[in-house]
Structure 1
Amino acid sequence: MQVRDVPVLGTSAGADAGLRLLLRTLRALAVLIIVGATAALVLDHSTGRVGHEPMLMTMVAVSLGAAVALHGLVLGRPLTRPHVGIAAVGLLLGLIAGVTGHPAAAWIFLALAAVIAVRPTGSTAQPGALPTVSSLIDGTPGDPLAPFAMTAGKSYVFSADAKAALAYRTLAGFAVVSGDPIGDRASYREVVANFVALCQARGWRILVLGASAHRLGLWHSGAVAGPRLRALPIGRDVVVDVDRFNMVGRAKRNLRQAVQRTHNAGISTEVVAEGDVDDALRAELLEVMRSSHKAVGAERGFSMMLGCALSGRYPGVWLIIARDRAGQIQGFHRYASAGNGTDLSLDLPWRRSGAPNGVDERLTVDMIEWANTHGAQRVSLAFAPFPDLFGGHRSSEVGVQALRALAHAGDRLIKLESLYRYLRKFDAMSEQRYVLFPLVDIVPTLLVLVTLEFAPRRPPADVPR
């Protein structure tokens, strides 16, 4: 996989650059003092020298607090009144601990006060923006991830005319963008510039999850200096062109056989709008969800999952439902639309435990046929993460095999190879997607992204559980 450099937009005027240089110098000095004092402590301990420990430990504590505070200021994190107030309380407790003869507690309070003072602020979810965001999604054809901008918990940055927007969430001082901007393409650069300005004002570091190849240029500006992002390919969209789809040929044999098995088993399908689901049907569907062994109450996902299933919260959401001869629901898929119905994107499939083999394939094929007769042009089946690990021409290489084994270690969260083998049946691998991140933050980036995608999150309070 090739890693590409992309400079992020920034505003580093001369005065700001001089101040940042000063702060970085002071931070480096604090780190040197920490290292020197710690080395002296170790040396005194090994040689049996006594008498210097209190002074050296004080130097370590003060320098650690200073380094933490300076690092926050280098990142541009604002000193808010609540943070400063809580930090002041920490300093006061530290002074009290020191005066009463508890130096260790005093040093701990000092370090905590510095951490709290520059603790990153978070974003606030904007559920009230849903109607505007939904309208922009309707004006965004050809982007399989566009509908997932509606996912609950996200915040938005809009262009001045509100004709384009960008969805994001914050975690641990990172502002993570969800896919590409939505709405009027002519306003995308303005939206990105507004977002970068917001991140600089809040001291957030920027990550982008799911950027498409033809939108990487939005995060590039050769005329403006700034921290560099790396673009790492993470997988491909899987998009079926409904006009061209067929099940003819040897490559589609497994798909044909799977679909035929469901016809032999008496499976039938129907498509309904999620907003039209009544209480009786909702109860049936919930029973399937519980039978599927997937968590129903706790939602997961960030850039490629919608959430709030069966709530009717989101416009343009469709369900395709499979029933057996007895009328019992065996599975259903949920799709969200974009581009005024020209694009459908699979959110999640649900399948009853013990359902006939081929139900998922049948639901997908029938949804493609339904889309073709209802004005849709494309159906996105899912996202294929790291397909080269499982089917590329390099899949037999030792390094790729090692990465594949690592991928299987996460099968409890998501079975990547099973997903790839299912998607391969449709022969619809499409555009590459990327994650953009600062190379220096590669470890926290991984932790933040894994947390956003896989950690359970509560559904909105107004959604029935």
Structure 2
Amino acid sequence: MPEEREVAVSGQAADHRQIAVYAAPALRPALTVSLLLVSALLLYAANRAAHEGVNRGWFVAVSLAGLFVVRGLHLCRPITLPHVAAAVLMLACANLAYRAEHSLAGFVFLAGTGFVLMLPHASRPHPAHRYRIAELVGRTERDPLAAFALHSAKSYFFDAADSAALAYRTRFGIAVVSGDPIGDRAAFGSLLGEFSVFAAENGWRIAVLGSSPEMVELWRLRAGEHRGLRAVPIGRDVVIEVGDFAMVGRDFRNLRQAVNRTGNFGVTTEIMLESALTEPLRAELLDIVDQWRVGRQSRGFSMILDHLLDGCHPGMLLVLARDAQGRVAGFQRYGIAARGTELSLDVPWRRKDAPNGLDERMIVDLVDYARGSGITRISLAFAPFPELFADKDRSRTGRLIYVLAHLGDPLIRLESLYRFLRKFHSMAERRYVLIRWWEALPAVAALLTLEFVPHRKQY
């Protein structure tokens, strides 16, 4: 018999609980075989009924509902009271439709009963843990994505000692982990193992977006029931090592030219904390954002921050660029990690009439500022598929992938981003997506919708 337990509907830090029944992993094979046999018998009965003039659609609908239940139990998905209520409502609708001789509607409602009963429940954002997460971000070293754990749309899973955590969000039954864990690196192994068990108990599959090479191996060791994760390289971090960066030599000619161009236009820069913004200056910066008519960072998941300029996220640093008339021409926002020694660039903004080279100028001036402020590393962005855009002699497959990459230009111009980042000659280690091949379709759908579908609200 299924085991009855209380599980957190919205994750480890749920604000409320509901009673949920789910199949314990040890019982799953027996339940799966039993329900498969029942479904096979129903299909056999449907075939016999067809020869005797009975409505076969009813039997097929029941069989499909049974198969949905089989799959849900195999995935160990909880059956919560809202799931049961929705399934009962669907069953009632099916009964009414059949009585009214609307066979197609009855078929859909009846087959959908099992689907609704086994729907995965979703995690909820945990914005209340913002300062708890900020403390762990402050302890995390040499991780360019650490600051992005603060995004308010994320859920969090902490280890028992509160020494490490990972950020995730569920979509289509996939728990998408954002980047690497944060906090005490020594606790990462046990954290991943505990999260794998937690995900299995909630009926979620796991995918990881933006894993470092070190964590790829750790996930493979600690994935538990989610073994089989395959690493797909998706790009490289771009990180300036402040102590080693020197804008000299032929390689940096384009960067020097861009910076000098802004000097000819009388551009100056200023560096300040986001918390120090005055209301008139904040309004001026938001006016720059509104020029582009794309919203105020209402989308994104793994490598972007929300709550633009409202002071909600602790420790944000701003670089402002002003033109010769003193008007703000553009700005950049940086998250801070590793006790203030590492910075990560959020989305940069500039006026449409700003001179070329403005972003390069702000970065170079920030590097100069960093040398006297104890900042050792500045992450500029993530460069997707740099080898694809650097390759001049592409194979047929390479040319096809190149064309496909440009189909996404309305969302993000990958080649333009690459050409900007290569000026700094600071390509660092690879980042990977971890998925299981047989779950690729829902996993890719979850990844893309989390990154590119706007959030309904900022939490």
Structure 1 Cα separation of the partners of residues 41 and 338 of structure 2: 58
Q: Is 1:403 equivalent to 2:401 in the alignment?
A: yes
CA contact (8 A) 1:298 1:457 kept: no
Secondary structure of 2:411's counterpart equals coil
| Counterpart in the other structure of 2:421 | 423
Deviations 1:268-288 (A, max 9, x none): 000110011110100110111
Structure 1 Cα separation of the partners of residues 102 and 441 of structure 2: 35
CA contact (8 A) 1:37 1:57 kept: no
| Counterpart in the other structure of 2:384 | 385
Structure 2 Cα separation of the partners of residues 169 and 182 of structure 1: 16
Secondary structure of 1:119's counterpart equals coil
Q: Is 1:19 equivalent to 2:18 in the alignment?
A: no
Structure 1 Cα separation of the partners of residues 42 and 232 of structure 2: 35
Structure 2 Cα separation of the partners of residues 297 and 167 of structure 1: 22
**What TM-score, normalized by structure 2, do the two folds share?**
0.90
Q: Is 1:187 equivalent to 2:187 in the alignment?
A: yes
What aligned pairs does 1:11-410 form with structure 2 within 5 A after superposition? 19-25=27-33, 54-221=54-221, 226-291=226-291, 293-297=292-296, 299-392=298-391, 395-410=393-408
Deviations 1:3-58 (A, max 9, x none): xxxxxxxxxxxx956633234435655776899899x79xx9xxxxx866753322
Secondary structure of 2:346's counterpart equals strand
Q: 1:249 to 1:36 in 2, by over 3 A?
A: farther
Shift of 1:59: 2.4
Name which of structure 1's ranges 139-148 and 184-193 shifts more when overlaid on structure 2: 184-193
CA contact (8 A) 2:147 2:336 kept: yes
Structure 2 Cα separation of the partners of residues 303 and 222 of structure 1: 22
Secondary structure of 2:388's counterpart equals helix
Structure 1 Cα separation of the partners of residues 83 and 281 of structure 2: 49
CA contact (8 A) 2:298 2:458 kept: no
Specify every segment of 5 or more residues in structure 2 that has no aligned partner in the other structure, as ranges.
1-22
Deviations 1:271-320 (A, max 9, x none): 110011110100110111122x1512461110100111101111111110
Deviations 1:202-241 (A, max 9, x none): 1011111011001112212389565411111111000000
Deviations 1:414-455 (A, max 9, x none): 000000010000000001111111110111111111101111
Q: 1:64 to 1:135 in 2, by over 3 A?
A: same
Question: What is the one-letter code of the residue matched to 2:33?
Answer: T
Question: What is the one-letter code of the residue matched to 2:417?
Answer: L
Deviations 1:75-111 (A, max 9, x none): 1110101111121122123223334433333222212
CA contact (8 A) 2:159 2:165 kept: yes
Q: 1:222 to 1:122 in 2, by over 3 A?
A: closer
Q: 1:35 to 1:207 in 2, by over 3 A?
A: farther
Structure 1 Cα separation of the partners of residues 250 and 257 of structure 2: 11
Q: 1:36 to 1:343 in 2, by over 3 A?
A: farther
User: Aligned pair count?
Assistant: 437
Structure 2 Cα separation of the partners of residues 117 and 371 of structure 1: 55
CA contact (8 A) 2:236 2:431 kept: yes
CA contact (8 A) 1:345 1:382 kept: yes
CA contact (8 A) 1:140 1:182 kept: yes
CA contact (8 A) 2:153 2:301 kept: no
Question: What is the one-letter code of the residue matched to 2:416?
Answer: S
Name which of structure 1's ranges 280-289 and 105-114 shifts more when overlaid on structure 2: 105-114
Structure 1 Cα separation of the partners of residues 52 and 263 of structure 2: 83
Q: Which has the higher contact order (CA 8 A, sep 6+)?
A: 1
Question: What is the one-letter code of the residue matched to 1:326?
Answer: Q
CA contact (8 A) 1:94 1:110 kept: yes
CA contact (8 A) 1:152 1:459 kept: no
| Counterpart in the other structure of 2:438 | 440
CA contact (8 A) 1:237 1:432 kept: yes
**What TM-score, normalized by structure 1, do the two folds share?**
0.89
Question: What is the one-letter code of the residue matched to 1:133?
Answer: I
Question: What is the one-letter code of the residue matched to 1:445?
Answer: A
CA contact (8 A) 1:33 1:59 kept: no
Secondary structure of 1:248's counterpart equals coil
